[in-house]
Amino acid sequence: MIIKRIILSSLMLLLATSCGKGFSDSQSADSQINDISTLQSSASYTLSSKIRLDSTRLLDSRSYPIDHGVRIPASINVQEGNAGNSSAIIYFNARSTVDFSFYCRYVGGANTNSPVLPDQIEKGLSYDFDECFTRINNQDPINYVPGEELIQYKENFVILELLGADSRFKAEASAELELVWH
């Protein structure tokens, strides 16, 4: 498990540093085409977000230097801790968590924030898709659904934020976003 996390972390760091790379005028056209071709060979990427025991939230984000399609995920999987009945958000075409095109809300399936019964603990192992909105505080709902493709504009971010989790534990969750290249 630790080796898998180290490999995943290394790949995420490599992807984050290479995907945010800009093209300078000194680069040849062939070099730019090869970099974009390498980028377009990716089928998906993973965002991971955490909540520490002191309630500090750590967000994760990704952007690309070119427009691309991305599919809305059906769920956000919990790797550590428990979602309980708390929420998580994925912001799309975002500059920040208050400057975005829209976001989708995901909710833990347990009936309480700190589940203790085995079936409720199991239900809190993911944040499941709930609804998407164009304005903060769950205003102006839009009819997007999991699997729907949208255009993520170049240099805008997709941001994953856990808004809450079982407060007895630190939490970590991740979402895999499928890329669609046209």
Terminal alpha carbon distance of the chain: 35
Distances (CA, A) of 159 to 4, 46, 119, 123: 23, 11, 30, 24
> Is residue 6 in a domain?
no
- Model confidence at 142, pLDDT cuts 50, 70, 90, reads very high
Instruction: Evaluate if pTM is beyond 0.85.
Output: no
* Least confident interval from 12-16, 85-89, 154-158: 12-16
- The number of domains in the chain is 1
Boundaries of domain holding 144: 43-180
- Model confidence at 137, pLDDT cuts 50, 70, 90, reads confident
> Average pLDDT, whole number, for the chain?
82
pLDDT tens digits, 59-116: 999 998 899 999 999 999 999 999 999 999 999 999 999 999 999 999 999 999 999 9
State the CATH number of the domain containing residue 123.
2.60.120
> Is residue 24 in a domain?
no
> Is residue 31 in a domain?
no
Return d(Cα 106, Cα 73) in angstroms, integer: 10
> Is residue 171 in a domain?
yes
> Is residue 124 in a domain?
yes
